Amino acid sequence: MDITEMYGQVLTGTVSDLNKDEAFVQIEGYTFALDLNELTEIPELGDEITGFVYENQAHKNRMTTVLPLVTQGVWNFAEVVDVRTDLGAFVSVGLEDKDFVVSLDDLPLEHNEWPKKGDKVMVKLDVDHKGRLWGKLADIELYTQIARSPERDMKTLLNNDEEGTVIAIRESGAFVMTESYYMAFVHVNEQSQPLHVGQHVKARVIGSSHRRLNLSMKPRAYEEITPDAQMIVAVLEHSRDKKMPYTDKSSPDDIQEYFGISKGSFKRALGNLMKQRKIEQKDGYTYLK
């Protein structure tokens, strides 16, 4: 077997040498270094060890007994740790010295729709003819196979918030896989901002169609923050200790002088913010939560 055919596989080899840090495992004439910290006891020459073999970032042959999050037959969510427009998105799969790359060929044409650092995408291991390890991005068909049908649950789901990950972008909107494993769709008119693959979103269930949920990121009517409420939040954000000496008990003159609005408008704005649990009042002060 050529070494490029070994990369990305779980193979068994024989310990041919040792030093204080590593065991060197031979497989069909090729040597792979294994960190001794992974083992519960020091092996002896001639012992057999099974592990995942790969070439690390420094182009060294490595073996690990700790399998990566994804293999050729296993899909999993992996965190994006870097993005390069000439290569793609690098994802962490649990190997200390090797990240997998999601090829730009798997990503949207528009760079602003690519995943960002810290996002999570579902991938599996793909090995090319040169033995290079890639993260193969899951497509909508795979998500469709694992998704639950929402039809029976719509009475409890309707108007509830669902959290999930953007899995694909289309001109009309974005597909989302929710944490409850429902396939969902956010139409562009229901987005509060442009979305990208891998982005974590929280949105409200507004209906269902085609065996998927329809979501909206727009706030409910009572959640909308008025300009007066926005001004109060801005004052709190820029104040020491995130508090101000104004409450719904403050005098109309003080409110008019400081905020330039009536006490009625001030109280409505405070009420709006308290309903959303953005502020609290205590001991004559209003605090940003």
Q: What is the pLDDT of residues 64-88, one digit of tens each?
A: 999 999 999 899 999 999 999 999 9
Q: What is the pTM of this model?
A: 0.74
- Whether residue 230 sits in one domain with residue 175: no
In eight-state DSSP terms, residue 66 is S
CATH number at residue 118: 2.40.50.140
Q: Do 14 and 30 belong to one domain?
A: yes
User: 179 vs 21, 164, 183, 200, 218, CA distance in Å?
Assistant: 41, 5, 10, 10, 19
Question: What mean pLDDT comes out for the span 142-170?
Answer: 93
Spatial contact of 192 and 111, defined as CB atoms under 8 Å apart: no
Q: How confident is the model at residue 276 (pLDDT cuts 50, 70, 90)?
A: confident
Q: What would the pLDDT profile of 36-62 be if each residue is shown by its tens digit?
A: 999 999 999 999 999 999 999 999 999
Residue 69 lies in a domain: no
- Predicted pLDDT of residue 219: 78
Report the alpha-carbon distance of residue 37 to residue 95 in Å, rounded. Answer: 14
Confidence bin at 141 (pLDDT 50/70/90)? very high
**Number of domains within the chain:** 4
pLDDT for 221: 61
pLDDT of residue 152: 85
Question: Residue 261 sits in a domain of what CATH number?
Answer: 1.10.10.10
Domain boundary among 15, 40, 64: 64
Give residue 23's domain range.
3-64
